Amino acid sequence: MTPPDPERYPRESNEISRSAAEEQKRNNRRTYALGITVAVVTTVSVVIAALQYFDDKAEDGADEAFEAGDPLKISAGESYWGPSWYAKEDGSDKYAGQLFDMPSTDDSQPSFAWLQKHWTPLNSTGVAVNVLSKHKHTVLVQGVEITHRKCTEPEPGGALFATPPIGDGGSLEMPAVFAFNVDAPRPIARKMNTEGLPGEPSRVNVTLEKGDQREILLHFFSGTKSCTFQASLIVSSEGKRYKQRIPAHWGEKGDDAYTFRVTAPNRNHAYETRYVTAPGTDLTKFRIVTVPASGLTWNKNNQPTYTPETDTSEWTP
């Protein structure tokens, strides 16, 4: 009978201990690796959540900044291009024979910029504005207020000027149209009648939800006075009342940008000089010519129409 090995049990015990230790190490490595994976996933999740949080905050901040202040963003509309007739105190013939530069922005030479700076719209002027609602809740345009109004008698003498045809810019959606007699004791919004003049009183009621846009077309008339004035939209939003000024001239700064001018004809339509712009064979060029008073017809609303009495081929630029 073989005697028992006295080192067997210690040796087996050591092997068992070593195996257990190795298994523990493997478990530790797996646990460590799993921990790193979880940590990485958690970190990535935290980073993504943080980025989303800051993106949301930035978006909220942009929304809050956009919604802060006035409820409407006002920009230039497309449905109004300007008056067809202008008046000026100076009645000399110094412009006769000059070319009228249609696209020019030089206000020192005959052009629309020149008319805007140095002449006054005759009978009527206007503006088209596009309004964009900025607030979360319903925004209501409730009226138009005429302010800073100063009216005098039209200057005697002077000159008239008929612009080249400038038409109408048109609109994809019909604008909300309102007319005002700015020389009335209390100018109020009116409908445009079939003669293109202020008619019956009209309620201003333009409702906009956030992101809605609408074009508003305003016509200002004067049949008896020469007037300067400013105009503001009266807007209601979230229980508050706002006044938002309407630019008279886009691109300018200061009060001049918000000051409208319009004049009625002078007494007996006694203008020293009457200019019209006549196209030649090149329809992009117009020459300024003087015309006789007999060529002008004034309707009951003191608005002029010119009928040529001569062969316009003589006016070719």
Q: Specify burial of residue 276 (Cβ count, 10 A radius: 0-12, 13-18, 19+).
A: buried
Q: Which residues pair with 208 in a beta bridge?
A: 139
Q: Which residues pair with 286 in a beta bridge?
A: 100, 279
Please provide residue 269's backbone torsions phi and psi, each rounded to the nearest 5 degrees.
Answer: 55, 40
Q: Would you say 231 and 147 are in contact if contact means Cβ atoms under 8 Å apart?
A: yes
- The neighbour count for residue 48, using CB atoms within 10 Å, is 10
C-alpha 80/C-alpha 176 separation (Å) is: 12
* pLDDT (0 to 100) of residue 254: 80
* pLDDT (0 to 100) of residue 65: 46
Between strands 120-121 and 139-152, the pairing is: unpaired
pLDDT, tens digit only, all 317 positions of the chain: 555 555 555 555 556 556 655 666 666 666 655 555 555 445 556 555 555 544 544 444 444 544 557 999 999 998 887 899 999 988 777 899 999 988 888 999 999 999 999 999 999 999 999 999 999 899 999 999 999 999 999 988 899 999 987 655 554 568 999 999 999 999 999 999 988 899 999 999 999 999 999 999 999 999 999 999 999 999 999 889 999 999 998 877 787 899 999 999 998 899 999 999 988 767 678 999 999 999 999 988 888 999 886 555 555 55
Q: Would you say 190 and 180 are in contact if contact means Cβ atoms under 8 Å apart?
A: yes
